[in-house]
Amino acid sequence: MRKLPPDSDQFEITLFGPGYGESAVVHLGANRWIVVDSCLDTNTRKPAVLEYFNEIGVSAQEAVRLIVISHWHDDHVRGLSDIVSSCPNALVCCSSALTQKEFLAYVLNYKNIMTQTTSSGVSEIKKTFQILSEKRLHRCAFAIANRPVLNLPAEGTADSCIVTTLSPSDKEFDLFLRGIAELIPPPQTKKRAPSLCPNHAAVALWIESNSVKILLGSDLEEKGDALTGWSTIVQSAERPQGRASIYKVPHHGSVTGHHNSVWSDMMVKAPIAVLSPFYHAGKKVPTEKDATRIVMLAPESYITTQNPIPKTKISRSSSVERTIRETVGKIRAVQPSMGWVSLRNGGKSRPDKWDVALSPSASLLSALCGGTD
């Protein structure tokens, strides 16, 4: 992990992703940071971004200006309440769909179902929103299409910077609440909260200064509907113009988050792409096909971890191991060591030159492309 903070005029984006979970921090210059989502460090069980700030000597309390809850799925919110508590000066941004009574009723219905896990997605959202509604320390902003939520002036050697939410659209807001309404539980035995797919309330972000443009794709999906997903963003006349040189690929590189026009209309040719994988319930995203598609468009693409198998195996007695083999064959570990990709530019003098630092488990995405490099 990096040991020093970026210089005042440097931009940085660091993406964390252990295989199930994603979080990002972006330095906007002059020690002004934004945090997008949260996942836990697999060793310390603390929010990865807070561990990172601690490592590079940044005070989260003073430096974090904006916390974005891009959506509410388990893999994007774990540890979020700790981040919100640690950053009382930050503006908190999420889709207003998440603060509607329909979604909050869903949260209350499904809270604390499991006895052993303390951090399911709905429980974490509940804790986070309780902090927001009870302590009333934070300012909140609701994400909608093309809304500038953070506008920072130039400061010292740092440029001014604007953060704009690109989604959700009006139709996505409506679809989200309709979907949540269908999840009102019937009078039957309680179970863990089901997820809503596709995720209509995902918040994509456009970050722009004089010299740098970054697109963070969240888990926003594309369904071929002109009023939702990436279609409505690329067709929008009101969206921020220009082309991004850094792209956080949406939905872990899955084809469900792909839209050709995003690459052709919103990116420079061959941008640097970063993504975190999704290893869950036997699913592995990105697939080799996904990786090949992305590398064709962005040869310099990075993945936070390419190997879902942890190096250390959990030690159990031979009797237990034998029974595991007889019952389920084998148990898959799903929380490998934390992976990250960190991009830092050369400041005002070399804004297009990005220094790349990788965790041991991170790699070029081309490593997943069937041996081709």
Partner 1 sequence: MIDQTAAIGMYFDKEANDITDNIEDLVFKSLYQGIANDYSARQKHLLNLDDTISDRADIKDIFKDKLPLQPREVHYSISVLQEWEGYVVSISNETFTARLVDVTKNCTIEDEEADFHLDDLEDTDRSRICPGSIFRWIIGYRRSLGGTKDRISRIVLRNLPSWTKKELGKNQRDAAEWASKLNGK
Residues that bind partner 1 (CB under 8 A): 40, 45, 78, 96, 99-102, 104-105, 107-109, 113-119, 129, 132-133, 140, 184-194, 280-282, 314, 316-317, 319-320, 322-324, 326-335
Chain center to CA of 296: 23
* Smallest gap from residue 336 Cβ to partner 1 (A): 10
DSSP result, 49-86: HHHHHHHHT--HHHHEEEEEE----HHHHTTHHHHHHH
* Smallest gap from residue 283 Cβ to partner 1 (A): 9
* Smallest gap from residue 47 Cβ to partner 1 (A): 13
Task: State both tokens at 92.
Answer: 């908190």
3-state secondary structure of 179: helix
3-state secondary structure of 188: coil
Separation of alpha carbons 145 and 165, rounded Å? 6
**Closer of 45 and 243 to partner 1 (Cβ):** 45
**Closer of 154 and 331 to partner 1 (Cβ):** 331
* Smallest gap from residue 21 Cβ to partner 1 (A): 10
User: Cα Rg for the chain, rounded, in angstroms?
Assistant: 20
Q: Which of 171, 167, 349 is nearest to 240 (CA)?
A: 167
Consecutive H or E run containing 205: strand 205-209
**Closer of 132 and 152 to partner 1 (Cβ):** 132
* Smallest gap from residue 198 Cβ to partner 1 (A): 17
Separation of alpha carbons 203 and 226, rounded Å? 17
**Closer of 154 and 309 to partner 1 (Cβ):** 309
**Closer of 323 and 372 to partner 1 (Cβ):** 323
**Closer of 59 and 133 to partner 1 (Cβ):** 133
Instruction: Name the burial class of residue 329, with classes exposed (0-12), middle (13-18) and buried (19+) by CB atoms within 10 angstroms of its CB.
Output: exposed
